[in-house]
Chain A
């Protein structure tokens, strides 16, 4: 339908445009804002693919929580664009090139595996009416993908504990007594 096509192109332009603007910004707050716009556009695309659950979770987790933390930290440190001019990161130009190239190759390989329309007919699976809503996603997560799913949660838990330990290590005993 025409309307769906319009929504798709608007969302796609916003997703890519905002992502580009995000990395071309000097002002960190503006970068975060563009990232949010990009995420919302991506969520729209997911919903158009009837992956309702993934779209909603993308907004709740990333836009609603993680990026708020980003903004929070930027505000606390009161970072403005100028401050990035002097401090150049330590990585050399060559290292950056290699990393970017590796990422690009990886991305291209993923794109190559994607099912494009001309190869679609042999990959096409009939989608069930409730495809992408909570129940089928949950069923897959807790049956077929149970182990990867639970392992991811352990990974996240380890990361949280690690972050707490790193944050605590810098403190002296004196700080502890203050509490």
Chain B
């Protein structure tokens, strides 16, 4: 393949993935409202389109046309920057996720991954660790007490859980001996080779920490509405608010995709085409997220910190040690 062809194919891949992720975010909000509705014995959105399927579009139009209110004592530049900073890192992590096997299209061998980096897993952790800045800056620049408290809580929470988050997948890496996402999927070719079976503790730790990292219930203290109004995005309205909203869902999708790739065998599965299997697994993981939100009450702040440092962190270290002893000795 020539240089131009490679550039062209990569650009198309990027555009397709970005569009897919945005659509995924929109329909995750639909899924969430629908599922939470049923969990609470309601029907959920059902007016716009069949099964309320046009609801995300209605929401988007509403948010675009709302007035963008900027309070007086905000730090203008950081205030405008914060929603973008939440959104971009979430999108970046999709660059290394393999959505399927090689396919032949128009005579080209196309890998269903934008870029198969040697350090794929590290790349995901590097970009997702930047997402916290958006929240911190939003909290700081809004010039509001609620926002500031939300921002402070969020930075403390994310730093605390990031340690266990990183350690939770070390077990998988010790077994696999690679950091490439594609290689990880290849090592889970049969059902019982999935890393969820070889690393059950690692998987549980990963899920708990990932929920904390994405600020979702029961770890949604940065936006605890009963105490902080809406936390870090209290002062945001219209499209800027929508960007936080999309950013949150993009982050959840990214976590689901990474979990699917690392623990649930990636795109592998019988009969159905790979991309469908991938979508099913991601959708199940997202539903799990929503199920937790509908079921569990929010943690208290000191419980959150104690749980992170005194339970998850030692457990993650122990898991790494045991895995290393079993597999590498």
Chain A residues packing against B (C-beta within 8 Å): 29-30, 33, 36, 43, 52-53, 56-57, 59-60, 63-65, 68-69, 71-72, 75-76, 130, 133-134
A38 CB, nearest partner CB in chain B, Å:
14
Q: Which 7 A-B pairs have CB atoms at the shortest separation, nearest pair first? A: A64-B129, A59-B126, A56-B122, A133-B118, A72-B155, A60-B126, A52-B119
Whether B139 lies near A133 (C-beta < 8 A) is no
Q: In the complex the two chains form, what is the Cα distance from A52 to B179 in whole Å?
A: 12
Residue of A nearest to B152 (CB): A75
Whether B126 lies near A72 (C-beta < 8 A) is no
Whether B158 lies near A68 (C-beta < 8 A) is yes
Q: Within the complex, which residue of B78, B119, B132 is in contact with A56, where a contact is CB–CB below 8 Å?
A: B119
Chain A residues near B137: list those with CB within 8 A: 29, 33, 71
Whether A130 lies near B118 (C-beta < 8 A) is yes
Chain B residues near A130: list those with CB within 8 A: 118
Q: In the complex the two chains form, what is the Cα distance from A56 to B117 in whole Å?
A: 11
Chain B residues near A43: list those with CB within 8 A: 126
Whether A71 lies near B136 (C-beta < 8 A) is yes
Q: Within the complex, which residue of B78, B118, B156, B162 is in contact with A64, where a contact is CB–CB below 8 Å?
A: B162
* Contact A76 B179, CB 8 Å, known A60-B129, A65-B159, A68-B158: no
Q: In the complex the two chains form, what is the Cα distance from A118 to B130 in whole Å?
A: 39
Task: Provide a sorted-by-A list of 30 A–B residue pairs whose CB atoms are within 8 angstroms.
Answer: A29-B78, A29-B140, A30-B78, A33-B137, A52-B117, A52-B118, A52-B119, A53-B122, A56-B119, A56-B125, A56-B126, A57-B122, A59-B126, A59-B130, A60-B129, A63-B126, A64-B129, A65-B159, A65-B162, A68-B133, A69-B159, A71-B136, A71-B155, A72-B156, A72-B159, A75-B148, A75-B151, A75-B152, A133-B119, A134-B119
* Contact A76 B162, CB 8 Å, known A60-B125, A134-B179: no
Chain A residues near B78: list those with CB within 8 A: 29-30, 33
Chain B residues near A53: list those with CB within 8 A: 119, 122
Chain A residues near B291: list those with CB within 8 A: none
Q: Within the complex, which residue of B118, B119, B133, B179 is in contact with A36, where a contact is CB–CB below 8 Å?
A: B133
- Interface assignment of B123: CB less than 8 Å from any CB of chain A: yes
Whether A60 lies near B148 (C-beta < 8 A) is no
Q: In the complex the two chains form, what is the Cα distance from A76 to B148 in whole Å?
A: 9
Chain A residues near B140: list those with CB within 8 A: 29, 71, 75
Give 1 or 0 for each of B72-88: 1 = CB within 8 Å of chain A CB.
00010010000000000
Chain A residues near B162: list those with CB within 8 A: 64-65
Chain A residues near B132: list those with CB within 8 A: 64, 68
Chain A residues near B133: list those with CB within 8 A: 36, 68, 71
A56, A69, A71, A76 interface centre (most CB from chain B within 10 Å)? A56
B79 CB, nearest partner CB in chain A, Å:
12
Give 1 or 0 for each of B133-172: 1 = CB within 8 Å of chain A CB.
1001101100000001001100110110010001000000
Chain B residues near A57: list those with CB within 8 A: 122
Q: In the complex the two chains form, what is the Cα distance from A33 to B158 in whole Å?
A: 18
B139 CB, nearest partner CB in chain A, Å:
7
Q: In the complex the two chains form, what is the Cα distance from A133 to B123 in whole Å?
A: 12
* Contact A65 B129, CB 8 Å, known A71-B136, A71-B155: yes
Residue of A nearest to B141 (CB): A29
Residue of B nearest to A74 (CB): B140
A81 CB, nearest partner CB in chain B, Å:
11
